[in-house]
Structure 1
């Protein structure tokens, strides 16, 4: 066999070293190695985190032997993505290149892109499955606890598809919004018209139940003419009507478009009370109703002449006992005694007294013992007693003749 030429001693590499001429590290690999060193330094500056177990370093290969490849073990708790990254970073089996008497281990180019093959005899750098898993997992934007997500923005295509004014108007018409708005406008106009038009004011007042009072006086007392029919307070109208002495009770109501209906219950005059030069109607309770109308239907009632200095006005009261006594005398005096009274009078000091023919004055006072008083009067007249003044008020009546 042909003897191989031995290289000079100076050209031969040391044991376990690779000649620079046959070194697998290129300039690009050295740049990548420096970059990995910087990354490792930055990674060591971060807080310590649990890392997967490192693979054991292989023993240094003897000169002339092919380096034994090492295989990194993935952590047991790693997920499938971490296992896939660990498989991709596993170093390939080195190839040997014949170069004289020394075999040089040449490793295959890295499959991971960012991982360079280590030099011969150096332990392979373990894979970083955690960092690869983080890269494979999508990152979520952090938000404060309890924060509500913001409004989603419509895409440009949706904004471009916004309907125009014609389409919007057509939708309004189809949905009934336009008809509703028109109905609302018409309703508002009608309400304003009804509440402001003179057609809906009180122009007609119908009075029922007035006999002593004139209907015109009742209308004046109601005081609701030409008021808006919507604002007529019927309770207030009734209060004003009952303020009249003639009206004992009343009711009021309205009727569209312009009518006020009034119904009154009058107090019936029992006596005409003459006070000074005025004549008043008085009811059975002694209430002064007002000036006596000579044209009224009750103008033929009994008249009592008041000779006191008392001034009267409507809703005042007179002596009710005098009223009952005067009515009784008007009914019984002539049938029981034959006396035809000229007038029935009343005064503070005498009470009720009667002026009879022959200038006779008969004082009855009050209605007490009326039957007894009439018997005494009848006996005196039948006996032919002459008198001008007879006072029947005491228990023992007396008379005198002043003629």
Structure 2
């Protein structure tokens, strides 16, 4: 209808209606922009990979075993006794591993640590018997010494688990409390005793110590083995065990150089 002034009436213009973005699509767009979707995807991939690693027989299989802390226990024996080689690192039971290794008489406890993808560390804590030291000129005067060679005091009667060392040097100084003896000799005797008595079942008499020659193990069967120090102990014990297994007759064997031993 025309207006009084002759103009046509103005009709309000209607704008085209824009279709709204569905809510799920808007959420997806926001997640893509702020990285949440990528993070969720990566987390899912990680979980799937972890699950795959836990159960796939070829993944995360222990083949890197580190042994530390031990002095007497051979590294290869520790690996073998632990039973971890070739097993899934996630399925290892530290208590089971410690129970296996503490069957060795001189292993007190074991700490088991695991790292991805296939590394296991075994820290061995050993226990050695105490040491009683005396001079050959006065074998009735025996003194307890610690691993550092410090003389603690006279030996108490009926003490269990004692290793005896006799200093054969005729000019050895008299022993007294708070004095010192050769700490390397003390530690060598402890380790040799553990290997020969506990591992090989050899009955031993008191060790002999001589300056410049070191520690000599004396067997109840009558033979003597000069170890000197605990350096390359596993090789020395192996050489001695081989002689005994072969039934080689000898009175004394010098093991101080394992690659060049002498016996008679």
Q: State TM-score, norm by structure 1.
A: 0.30
Q: State TM-score, norm by structure 2.
A: 0.45
Return the structure number with greater strand share.
2
